Structure 1
Amino acid sequence: MDQLSAMRVFVRVVETGNFTRAAAALDMPKTTVTNMVQGLEAHLHTTLLNRTTRRVMVTTDGALYYERALQILAEIDELDGSMSHSQARPSGRLRVEMAGAFADLVVIPNLCDFYTSYPQIQLDIGVGDRLVDYIAENVDCAIRGGTPTDQSLVARKVGELTIRTYASPIYLERHGTPQHPNDLIEGHLAVGYLNATSGKVFAMDFCRGDENIEIPPRYAVSVNDARSYANAILAGIGIGQTASFMVKDAVARGELVEILPEWDCEVLPIYIVYPQTRHLSNKVRVFVDWVAKRLQALKDPERQTRRPQLEAAE
């Protein structure tokens, strides 16, 4: 029996909750997964898992073995990575989750540059703002906007996005141009942006010097997707605060106008997050570094703003 391989299979069964999902995540036949766990139990002379027709439950011995196996596998992966980092090019499948706007406007247009340096990485991109089960879905990492609150995840800040306030000429012709954030309280409509986790609409924040103002948006439409949010502003439905890189072409064409330019918004921090139980492999590390460079290229050299209304990837 290859005890190391059996150990990896056992860990995946525990993390996914059953043999079928573990087999799919490992790209192995279910019978192979079952036989390897049974072989490990025979080798250890103990029962690690209790099986029923519906679920797999970890025994007391199994829970102890899982915790120790997790530490051993992480140490082995770290050792292998440190030995191979300078000798081998990163390779293999990399599963990454990110918001659609970030995928469409930052990552995908620049992937040829990524593959020039790392041609042996197979990148699987999951697009959306949904909550992710990193272990069961075998997700290596995710790109998220806003400061992460999940304590089970390791988070590395890789950059920031500048947020500004915009309206379409159509909207301004109908409603006039606000001269102060307080003008948005009455007589103006905003496009609402929904927090994907809480379902609440974000407030619009403004800052000028020591003055900070938070405006609950009056909205006719709210969305929970960054691209739809920007399109609603373009359509003249209301005023919105969005990442400047997303709408720079529309501004250049005169389809959007920056309003209240003397009032800043907070920047939107961008994080790469991954489970604490996952070792940061070379392929994840080079992707994280590459994303950080792409975000650096998007920085506004004239002005850094503060908190975003638009949480583009949260």
Structure 2
Amino acid sequence: MDRIDAMRVFARIVERRSFTRAADDLDLPRATVTDAIKSLEARVGVQLLQRTTRQVAPTLEGEAFYGRCLRLIADMEDAESAFSASAPAGPLRIDVHGMLARHLLFPRLPDFLAQHPGIELDVSEGDRYVDLVREGVDCAVRVGELRDSDLVARRLTTLPEATAASPGYCARHGTPATIDALQDGHLMVGFQSTSTGGLLPLEFQLGSRVRELVLPTRVRVGGAESYLGAALAGFGLLQAPRYRLEPHFAAGELVPLLAATPPRPSPVHIVYTRTRLPSPRLRAFIDWAAREFG
């Protein structure tokens, strides 16, 4: 194994905190990964990784060496792409919010794969925030305000939001005409924040101000699909991107409420870690996503 490949192995072990997971990511035998690190440590003359029975962590020297490895790998990939006629190729791991993946991303992915036949996508989806470095993810498409200061973010678009409830709910509790009317016996479907564990408040734009309101709730959920399902079942109000609610408005399964004071639109960003310079395949995906969603 040459030095650059050994550096790639070392960098992935640092990111995944595991020889086994790194070997799986790189499609290499575990023994090959172990031998590569032994040779690398012998070459540089210091211990780069601290092994325990539970995980692998870089030493202080390993942390410094990891940063240099990333720069060298990125420079090599840039040089290869600049002087080679070959298109971006290889595996690309992305994480996308579940609803966004199914309704906006996947219908457009055939176009991306047709433009870049050498790229293989590994897409994970969910409602939680993944640790890009620790979980070996190249980039993520995230909805909402960002809280990770160590990530590079590129805004793709904003999603208009709406407030809604089922016709059955409105028949039982009435159709509120104002925000103040919500405090007269109305309920919301409780959506639990992945960061705090508390319930996210409903929000309403009043000119340049935003009013937040937490209503009583009998059902609490932690996922976007369950959130929508609970509202369709009549358990209370919800707020969600309009693209997701429009089919249910058209089918008469949900009723739009308080349209004059909608929630703030949700920004959509593509993010990647500052410590990993984007590879040609990652840059290709970022540029495509910016054009497609912009």
Check whether TM > 0.5.
yes
**What does 1:256-271 correspond to in 2, within 5 Å?**
256-271=254-269
Distance 1:198 1:185 in 2: 24
**What does 1:94-133 correspond to in 2, within 5 Å?**
94-133=92-131
Structure 1 residues 265-295: Cα deviation after superposition (integer angstroms, max 9, x where no partner): 2110011111212222232233233334443
In the alignment, what sits opposite 2:48? Answer: 48
Aligned-partner SS, 1:220: coil
Q: CA deviation at 1:82?
A: 4.6
Decide whether aligned partners of structure 1 residues 236 and 125 sit closer, same or farther in structure 2, where only a CA change above 3 A counts: same
Decide whether aligned partners of structure 1 residues 217 and 291 sit closer, same or farther in structure 2, where only a CA change above 3 A counts: farther
Distance 2:129 2:57 in 1: 24
Matching of residue 273 in structure 1 with residue 271 in structure 2: yes
Decide whether aligned partners of structure 1 residues 65 and 209 sit closer, same or farther in structure 2, where only a CA change above 3 A counts: closer
Distance 2:59 2:261 in 1: 59
AA matched with 1:34: T
Distance 1:287 1:184 in 2: 43
Matching of residue 135 in structure 1 with residue 133 in structure 2: yes
What's the Cα RMSD here? Answer: 2.3
Q: CA deviation at 1:5?
A: 1.7
Q: Is the 8 A contact 2:164 2:257 kept in 1?
A: yes
Aligned-residue identity in percent: 40
Equivalenced residue count is 294
**What does 1:63-78 correspond to in 2, within 5 Å?**
63-78=63-78
Q: CA deviation at 1:11?
A: 2.4
Matching of residue 164 in structure 1 with residue 171 in structure 2: no
Q: CA deviation at 1:158?
A: 0.9
In the alignment, what sits opposite 1:10? Answer: 10
Q: CA deviation at 1:50?
A: 4.6
Gaps of 5+ in 1: 297-314
Q: Is the 8 A contact 2:140 2:270 kept in 1?
A: yes
AA matched with 2:41: E
More off after superposition, 74-83 vs 151-160: 74-83
Decide whether aligned partners of structure 1 residues 77 and 169 sit closer, same or farther in structure 2, where only a CA change above 3 A counts: same
Q: Is the 8 A contact 1:153 1:274 kept in 2?
A: yes
Structure 1 residues 180-217: Cα deviation after superposition (integer angstroms, max 9, x where no partner): 11111221111122211211111111123255422112
**What does 1:1-314 correspond to in 2, within 5 Å?**
2-51=2-51, 55-56=55-56, 58-83=58-83, 87-210=85-208, 212-296=210-294
TM-score (norm 1): 0.84
TM-score (norm 2): 0.90
AA matched with 2:266: L
